[in-house]
Amino acid sequence: MDEFFSPLTQITVNVFPLWVVLMICAGVFLASLMDAIAGGGGIISVPTYLIVFAGLPAHYALGTNKLSSAVGTMFSTGRFIRQGYVDWRLFAPAAIFSLLGAVGGTWLQLHTPDVVLKYLLLVVLPVVAVVTLRNHNWPDETAAMQFSRRAAVVWAASLIIGAYDGYYGPGTGTFLMLIFIRLGKMDTRHAAGGVKVINLASNIGSLFTALTAGTVYVAVGLIAAIASILGHYLGAGLAIKNGSRIVQPTVILVLMLLTVKVGSELLFPSFWK
């Protein structure tokens, strides 16, 4: 395992001023709080790391973000599991389909320009946000539906959105949440619990890859992970307690932030490289 952390262990927290470490923790906390409720936390955490790691390759920001994110996601996922909001018969296979989709999406990204997807998202995201905002009937109870039909929706969505995650990524959890609720007829809490399982699987896979490549500042990532744990734990509690009352407006916020992110990537591409 030593090769995973070299030259990472050469970088200590002392390299970063205290205010920088606090800035990372603040950004990661807010991102994790949002991510546990409705997904999309990377929209906040990734820019935070990119700003702090300015001058370094973006891979280090992304890799370190995966460490803090994966650790925090474990706690929010665990909270949903303990409350009984994860249907393993549905979501164990869904996690596998998501991983397969992510592999395919990553391969596709290597062979096609992602600018096409970004322009498409600029058209789609505002429409999705308006539709979500206008529909006030987010369920707090799962509607009756044959398991085979619900499984088809969940597994197909996991494969397709998993491919999107591998190809581009931001907002993956939010899109899954919308599909599980709207097409899978699931209640808000069970949909969120399933999304956490899928996100955790993809985060672990990405983290392992980043550690193997040596693009994770472990010391910084572990400190930020404390803020991530707190944000995920509180966010999961809010989602479980309040259901659609807090999840729906958070989804709207994520869609708006994602629109801004996509637009900024097209206007200021150098910031994201």
Tell me which residue of 221, 170, 175, 167 sits closest to 195, measured CA to CA: 175
* pLDDT: which is higher, 140 or 100: 100
* pLDDT: which is higher, 273 or 177: 177
What pTM, to 2 d.p., does this model score? 0.78
Confidence of residue 138 (pLDDT cuts 50, 70, 90): low
From CA 235, how far away is CA 260, in angstroms rounded?
23
Q: What is the pLDDT of residues 174-224, one digit of tens each?
A: 889 989 998 999 998 899 999 999 988 888 877 888 888 888 888 899 999
Q: What is the pLDDT of residues 110-120, one digit of tens each?
A: 677 767 767 77
Task: Please report the pLDDT score of residue 81 as a whole number.
Answer: 94
From CA 231, how far away is CA 75, in angstroms rounded?
10
Task: Please report the pLDDT score of residue 141 as a whole number.
Answer: 75
Using the predicted structure, report yes or no on whether residue 72 has a pLDDT greater than 80. Answer: yes
Specify the range with the lowest mean pLDDT, choosing from 49-53, 126-130, 254-258, 259-263. 126-130
Average pLDDT, the chain: 82
Task: Please report the pLDDT score of residue 204 as a whole number.
Answer: 83
Using the predicted structure, report yes or no on whether residue 22 has a pLDDT greater than 60. Answer: yes
- Cβ within 8 Å of residue 238, ≥6 positions away: 33, 36, 37, 246
Sign of CA dihedral 184, 248, 99, 203: negative
Q: What is the pLDDT of residues 216-249, one digit of tens each?
A: 888 899 999 999 999 999 999 998 888 778 887 8
Contact 262/42 with Cβ under 8 angstroms?
no
